[in-house]
Structure 1
Amino acid sequence: MEINYQPYIPDQGTKSVEKRLQNVAAEDQQGEQEALKKATEDFEAIFLTMMFKNMRNTVPDGGLVEKSFGRGIYEEMQDEKMAEDISQNGGVGLAKELYQQLSQQHGYDDAAASVQETSPLEGDRKANKDQE
């Protein structure tokens, strides 16, 4: 007669593997949320860069410095940096809204609730305090 003790012995190995898989899944979701947040901030920066470029095109030529190739490159770089800084410090709200929408679509509802509530003015105040 054969006695099978297997059902009475708890399988600790399986439980630890399941726990590790849950931890890996949670870390993966956290990484995806961070990547999504970065992507929405980058999108907002690109949007703002295009907006600044189109706004600059409405200004007539002339003024203190003549229009030149170097000036055009400088203005383009300035617009990109300004848009990036604005986006990283609260932006105009586009990145936040995109993040909330996309995180809900991907099932990150708790992440959408934890989005930092900052206005562009609060971001400017924070940047000014850091510079002092």
Structure 2
Amino acid sequence: MRVNEIIELFQSKGVKATPQRISVYEALLSLKHPSAEAVLERVRSILPTVTVATVYNTLDCFAKAGVIERVLTVDNKMYFDTNLSRHYHLYSEETHEIQDFYDNELSELIRTFIQNRKIPGFELKDVKVQLIGNIENY
């Protein structure tokens, strides 16, 4: 994704495009499901004076604006995802690696199941699934 595309994305989500924010987003794109610490390390290789607070605040801003999604794993560690299309996550307990998994049939199965249950007072808005195991060569 080029810088002008990142700026357009930010504008569409109401996020101000600053050099630090652009660098954080570029780091997110290059790392695939990174932790905040990994993002900080990558950004500091480009902008050595960026602060921890700037990176954490930027990640929070992005998540609240819908630019990225947070991915909380079973080991209670937060990762971030720039892929906003409908997908699920395969999480490796051994390596802590996260990979995207696409399955429209699973999506429809879950939605239909929940709708048929008619849970009082509950309206399904989204489905987040994390499959936990060990990833070999997916």
TM-score range, shorter chain: under 0.3
TM-score (norm 2): 0.26
Return the index of the structure with the highest Cα Rg. Answer: 1
> Larger % of strand: which?
2
> Larger % of helix: which?
1
